[in-house]
Structure 1
Amino acid sequence: MYWDGNMGAWGFVLMLVSFILFWGAIIAALVLFARSMSPGHRGSTGPGGSAAEDLLAERFARGDIDGTEYTSRLAALRRARGA
């Protein structure tokens, strides 16, 4: 503490930048954590699938849609993704 209480302009700038970076990292970590814990969060869909195809497969497995509707919607999804 031999600097006599005067940190200068660069000291204030460094303090301000480090303050912003610290709180920005804290807020970003909280947002990412909240998003990962939300009920609508879906993990990775695998190498060849998409979230829409997975949802369609789940509906077919539950019996909400029949086989013909499943295949027609799956084909439409794949055409839309390829276009």
Structure 2
Amino acid sequence: MNWIWWTVWFILLVWVFATPYNIPGQRHAKENALEILKRRFANGEIDHKEYEERKAVIEKK
């Protein structure tokens, strides 16, 4: 009976640590500044001029 519990714990640990990061409601990798800037430009929140200015500042770092 003891080996059943070890198997259950092992499966649970593998499931927790091996799940992909892009599943909705799960852990997410953080976006970097350039990805956020691209998303804002794609959504129309900023114009092309502002996008290029901010991109130049980000790439300078």
Q: TM-score range by the shorter chain?
A: 0.5 to 0.7
C-alpha spacing 1:25/1:36, structure 2 compared with 1 (3 Å): farther
Shift of 1:38: 4.5
Q: Which amino acid aligns with 2:16?
A: L
Alignment of 1:2-81 (within 5 A): 23=9, 26-33=12-19, 35-39=21-25, 41=28, 51-80=32-61
Bigger share in helix: 1
Instruction: Find the aligned partners of 1:38 and 1:32 in 2 and give their Cα distance.
Output: 15
* Separation of aligned partners in 1, 2:12 and 2:19: 11
* CA RMSD, 1 decimal: 3.2
- Bigger Rg, which one: 1
Task: Summarize the Cα distance change of 1:24–1:76 in structure 2 as closer, same or farther, 3 Å threshold.
Answer: farther
Paired with 2:33 and 2:12, the residues of 1 have a C-alpha distance of 33
Per-residue displacement from partner, 1:6-64 (whole Å, max 9, x unpaired)?
Answer: xxxxxxxxxxxxx6xxx56742541341744245635xxxxxxx842222111111110
Instruction: Label 1:63 to 1:28 Cα distance change in 2 as closer, same or farther (>3 A).
Output: same
Write out the 4+ residue segments of structure 1 that deviate beyond 4 Å after TM superposition.
23-26
Kindly tell me the number of residue pairs found equivalent between the two proteins. 54
By relative contact order (CA 8 Å, sep 6+), the higher-ranking structure is 2
